Structure 1
Amino acid sequence: MKSRIYFIILTAFLFTACSSKSGSGYVPKPKGYNRIDIPVAQYQTLEGNYPYTFEYSKLAEIMPDKSTNAEPYWIIVNYPTLNAKIQFTYKPLNGDLKKLDAHVADAYKLASKHQVRATSQTEQIVSLPNGKKAVVMELEGEVPSHLQFYITDTTQNYLRGAMYLNKATLNDSLTPIVNYIKKDCIHILKTLNWKK
């Protein structure tokens, strides 16, 4: 009999303890992401036999582009700790304006491939301290490439860059990495110089 009374008291206690005064019931926890700490940016100068030079993050390493269609001077600025990269494709113009037109059209075509998953795309012409101008295209949404750009001297050199994330994670959780590499891309453009 005593155990039955204890059971009834315990059951009554549990029902009153679990009931909500507001009547709203269960409330799920808010969505959370892993914390990503990124150090303050420090830069180094690109070394090597390239027709261009720029400063890039000390978090990154330079790797040759080994894709099947890679050409000379195509490189990847790889961020191994951030699981991201910037792919650079270089094209010599040799004074041929038709080549320049084709490369610019190709840059827009490659950016438009991401519009299927992009929620927005903005384009701006960035004036750089060295007097050069670059076209920067930012894409928002669940896209693998959040930033693409190109810069040219219009007669001899054309360089296109595209930032890629290596993870298939939702991009909201990678916002600190995306913002860090976007700033790096702008720094690369600001410090870029042609060697010929």
Structure 2
Amino acid sequence: MKILISNILILLLVSCNDTRVPLPKPRIYPKVNYPSGKDLVFSKSQCPFEMTVPTYFKYIKDEKKNKGEAQYSCWFDLVCEELNTNVHFSYVPITTSKNLEVLTEDAFEMVDKHNVKASYRDEIKISNSANNVYGFLFQIDGPVASPTQFFLTDSTQHFVRGSLYFNDVVNRDSIAPVFAFLKKDLDIMLDTWVWK
């Protein structure tokens, strides 16, 4: 028994002889293969607007809303399969000034629904008087479903609401480079927006 206890003590002393200081592993993020492509003018006959969109975005009509109802003929997604994201667009014609007020309030309410999980929200006013494009861009920090939303209008005939979605549950820090990449594309879309 004494031999067993002395062997265990010797083993413990020998095993505690490591002089290296443990260092934490550096943070790494998954490798992202960013898509590349040319910028082209996006124009659909059922949509009364044009914008510049990179070719790696694929147009997908919103079939749930487009079942023969003219009011939903310009509801669609621009999907970037490489980054597993999509930008949803919904166009609604303005029929009265009251209609514009309701649409604008609805856009703000959709953004407000993220306040439960959001840590910060930035509202950026969009005003391009040369192309008669006005609206707001909302950037939302925190674990929210849609970190970027926007609406655009000419205040008399047209109203478009859009939102960027990541199709995975993501940690905002880990997708920061992807978000920055997509934000540049979204800025180009909004900066080149023209009503037909």
Query: Which category describes the TM-score, using the shorter chain as reference length?
Result: 0.7 to 0.9
**Equivalent residues in 2 for 1:1-196, closer than 5 Å:** 14-16=15-17, 18-20=18-20, 26-39=22-35, 42-49=38-45, 50-67=47-64, 71-94=72-95, 96-128=96-128, 130-131=130-131, 132-195=133-196
Deviates more, 1:154-163 or 1:173-182: 173-182
Aligned residues: 182
Distance 1:174 1:67 in 2: 29
Q: Which amino acid in 2 is paired with 1:29?
A: K
Q: In percent, how many aligned pairs have the same letter?
A: 26
TM-score (norm 1): 0.82
User: What whole-Å deviation, never above 9, does each CA across 1:133-159 have from its counterpart, x for those lacking one?
Assistant: 331111001112111111101111001
User: What whole-Å deviation, never above 9, does each CA across 1:43-85 have from its counterpart, x for those lacking one?
Assistant: 1111321211111122211110133588111110111111101
Distance 1:174 1:108 in 2: 25
Q: Stretches of 4+ moved more than 4 A in 1?
A: 10-14
Distance 1:63 1:51 in 2: 17
Structure 2 contact 146–163 (Cα < 8 Å) conserved:
yes
Distance 1:114 1:52, change over 3 A: same
TM-score (norm 2): 0.82
Structure 2 contact 93–157 (Cα < 8 Å) conserved:
yes
Q: Which amino acid in 2 is paired with 1:137?
A: F
Q: Which amino acid in 2 is paired with 1:181?
A: L
Q: Which runs of 5+ in 1 are unaligned?
A: 1-6
* Partner SS for 1:29: coil
Distance 1:85 1:104 in 2: 22
Distance 2:82 2:32 in 1: 11
Structure 2 contact 34–82 (Cα < 8 Å) conserved:
no
Quote how far apart the aligned CAs of 1:37 are: 3.9
Q: Which amino acid in 2 is paired with 1:45?
A: V
Quote how far apart the aligned CAs of 1:190 are: 1.2
Distance 1:126 1:46 in 2: 20
Distance 1:114 1:42 in 2: 33
Q: Which amino acid in 1 is paired with 2:139?
A: E
Distance 1:67 1:174, change over 3 A: farther
Distance 1:129 1:172 in 2: 36
Quote how far apart the aligned CAs of 1:183 are: 1.7
* Partner SS for 1:32: coil
Quote how far apart the aligned CAs of 1:27 are: 4.1
